Chains A and B, each alone.
Chain A
Amino acid sequence: MLDTTYNVETPEGIDLRARAAGPVPRILAYAVDVFYRSLILAAIGMGLFFAGFAGAGIWLVCAFLLEWFYPVFFEVMRRGQTPGKKSFGLMVVNDNLTPVSWSASIVRNLLRFADFMPFAYATGVISMTLGRHFQRLGDLAAGTLVIYREEEKAPIALPDTTPLPPPQNLRQQDQQALVSLLERHEDLSEARQRELANLLEPITRKKDSDALSYLRSVGSWLLGGRG
């Protein structure tokens, strides 16, 4: 229940990983979409205000299209993201993590009404909470999934160090620990890093910034740097 990762094996034998999005961000995203939709409708309404009865007819057609096809349009044409989903970093995908198709998007959005029953998306929220991957009924029928879109991370600049070989053969785990200390040099405060480095004092026989720079050097060597 707490593990929201979703794995799919592609034909190439690669495990794709994604994180399924829970009810709260989805409800918020939906609220944003409702806001935009009302805004669009209001704008169209003002534009058609002077067209009289005929304008009202066109407005009703627009209201119909927005009600049922606004999400479909964005999900298919904008890579699975309605404006609301975009603002919360969510996206809709097929459950094999491919981009959502027209038919799947239409199904999940037509069935929105059932998820709404009896009021305020009660059925949808119950279905999301009970299922493994937070799928509402529309998602289950369409075979779709709402996931977090991973943010692009800029490659980190590693601190400038002269690589040094480790004093002895380190186990894989220890190597990884050293490398991730190096990787996280910008996320952790300098003091905390020194504190962590001091934990290894019995082995490195160094303290504070000496210890830290030594560990960084070793980490850099492990990553493949040579002096």
Chain B
Amino acid sequence: MRKPNGLSRRGVLAGAAGLVATGALAACGSNTGRGSSGGGSGPTIAQWYHQYGEAGVEQAVKRYAKAYSKANVQVQWTAGDYDTKLATALVGSGGPDVFEQSVAKVDQVRAHQLADLTDVFGAAKDDFTPAVLDAQTVDGKIYGIPQAIDMQMLFYRKSWLAKAGVSAPTTLAELASAAKKLTNKKVKGLFLGNDGGAGVLGAVPLWSIGQGYLSEDQRKVGFEAEAAAPVFAALRTMYSSGSLLLGAPADWSDPSAFTQGLTAMQWSGLWAVPVVQKALGNDFGVVAWPKGDDSGKPSVPIGAYASTVNAKSRHVDAAKAFAKWLWIDKTGYQRDFDLSYGFHIPARTSIAAKADKLSSGAGKDAVDLVQRYGKVQATPGWTSPMNTAYTDALNNIIRKGSNPESELKTAIGKIDKQLRTLYK
């Protein structure tokens, strides 16, 4: 029977069912980046990027994807915790076909998540910076095409240091002393992140005393608790001295604490140079992390995002062909990606050599630091659980004041257990 308003019960039910079905379908669809508005013909492949801070990069990578004619490439730009989202997506079948990550991890290779890209390099292999290529190499096979090199360094305000009678620090003791002298009621001396450097410094304190995460062959723990304890104790002393900026609205990767005058020195990265230059002109300098003792060296961590292919992709060959086209054949795109928006060192030495931005000022200083002291922080053998064990120890030592030696021994035990699982 038709109701006075013209709606029958059957009609209402059908409509409701339709709505529910539509909602369910919408809710069930996992967004892998595959859509219908691609540029080319052929298979549709999803390419994932993490969110770059520089304006224009997103548009640029979408432009590159659209220019590819042999596949319909859909770019997904991921804000927030990209690494966790990627790790979860790679477990299932809804992951991306091509994605970027900074290191090819041994456990990913063991889980057959990464496609072997060794054969796509050809003669271009020798043009890539060896250190960042090593970060993509497991058992002699290459799993990622490096796109850009980034590095971290210490920014300092030249005029403020001069006024306080402090020179750019070259040792950890000098850094602690300078931070204290530069601290006053309104300004803190040093910003190493809101956790006092526990998260970002990573292997840097170990390098500064001549040690590292893992041994050369990646199969043993590369540091000793007794020898490493003093440098972490020094970081704790600095943390509790009141000269570190803690709890800034933006963390270490954003130079705003430095440009807003909240701190006189800040640990940040090459990408921050344009923003700092715009805010402070030439009133800033950059140095490496100072050495911890006479057995160590100044430290500059470098890393490189690389383009990787999901081994579980339905279009592995198409994805490999696209990655090769974008990051090996089209050298102009790498130049544009690295130098037109922010400040990155091209992974290919031939492109880096011609980069004007890197031939003067802070850019040149940064390149010099990379050449003299640059080391890749994340290596294939250093897995996430190992990193968690290590950063837990740093958090407990630096922020909680726990005993450095016992914390490092606990971390070494956990890392050693992981290594035994990996290489059993």
* A and B are interacting partners: no
Residue ranges of B at the interface with A (Cβ–Cβ < 8 Å): none
| A residues whose Cβ falls under 8 Å from a Cβ of B | none
